[in-house]
Structure 1
Amino acid sequence: MRARPLALVTGASTGIGYEFAKLCAQRGHDLVIAADEAQIIRVAEELRGGDVRVWELQCDLSTMAGVEALYRLAQGLARPIDILIANAGRGLGGAFLDQDFAAIRRVIDTNVTGTVYLTQLVGRDMRSRRAGRILIVGSIAGFIPGSFQAVYHGSKAFLDNFAAALADELDGAGVTVTCLMPGVTDTEFFRRAGMLDTQAGRSKKDDPAEVARQGFDALMEGRREIVTGWHNKLLTMTAQITPAWLLARRNRQLSTPDARRRS
């Protein structure tokens, strides 16, 4: 029997990454999944069965060692990675000058450094085979200066830009790069970022399963980017003609903690 194609999904324990892992399994792929929490083991048990094979790793993708451990696991299977979904990410709410720098550094190292390093390792293999698909989870936050989320928004601006550049570099190489740019989505993000006491944290949110579905379809179609949801599309178009200071002021209203807003 011919082996199923292999998909590697990071941040797969919850939210959009979990939905991506389910989609890959449902649409004919075996899986390598990773996250920095033990729940990844339960997800692997859930998805494993029938023809679906799943290999999981609990690792910290904000570190070079964590990225390398994940890559070694995939390489040890002696099978090519057909799809890379670089979804692992971390948020951080609050005023920049009040944040602990270790927490700031972890956001940057997870969202930017870890994503870039894993993409380079896997992307080189794909380029040598002239086959493969990469999806990088950016955000519409990358279009907006993020008052009270300054580092997170900056990291997503990097990823949106990086993905577009890499897609162009690999044009004609047999490897596609898709940037998924969702808006506010119903995941663990706001709890983990300490933002449940914000307007954004309490707002109506997009369904992660639908976000992942649109992203997966765009990936398989070879599209370079997708903004999910008509309201997010409208926001990104508006952001491109709105002064940065005004965008920052609007984000202040969404992301300022309640206690600070009242003071």
Structure 2
Amino acid sequence: MQKVIDRLAGELLEAERTNVPVAPLTERFENLTVEDAYQIQLAIAKSKTDEGRNVIGKKVGLTSKAMQNMLGVDEPDYGHLFDDMTVKNGETVRIDSMIKPRVEAEIGFVLRDELFQPNVTFLDVLMATDYVVPALEIIDSRIADWKIKLVDTVADNGSSAKVVLSDKKKTIDEVDFRSASMVLFKNEELIATGAGAAALGHPAHAVAWLANKLYEFGIPLKANELILPGALSAAIDVLPGDTVTAEFGALGWVSVHFA
């Protein structure tokens, strides 16, 4: 199985480098498990860090019941965020630097303290958080035509590509997460609305899930890491010329343009 893990990690790395997608892993290797998929993801992460790229955080995916039902799963997944994935608020991203990108709006958590213990709770997350920030995650699948099952997206780093961060920051006590509203626009047209409750009832629950999942692999959530706890609405497709903006009320706004 290690040979298969190494082979598929290499395929996905090459697909990301060349923007040429690969056929779904689950169609070619029906016996791949979620555990195998995480080993593929970890192998990809090791290759990137060996090249000098730095992990700056993690992302949680599949936090909504609708997405879990679509993929036939009962828990979220996660991926790694690297330093070369960050985009400043309002900057332009080239569509041709990815395969078939989509955009999701999230409330990012930046940790003040490390979380590395069993049974991390919602309150542990709130106490460990330095601040929260409006974010857009640009997702992209290295699997052809987004024909993904859970194993495919886990192996493919949670289908993560880039993250756009606002320059507005708020402390935990400045935000009511359960009712925190999000309004998503594409080219000034209202596309979607959402609230913090969309991510497992509260974004901090998604961060706690991640801390506990990573503990199984002996991986901590480190101080200063950025955690994306899951989308507040469905992902939207983008084309060259599109501008996507998410407004989070008092929390602030974040925007990205595509060329």
TM-score normalized by the length of structure 1: 0.26
User: In terms of Rg, which structure is larger?
Assistant: 1
TM-score normalized by the length of structure 2: 0.26
Structure with the bigger RCO (C-alpha within 8 Å, sep 6+) is 2
Q: Which has the higher helix share?
A: 1
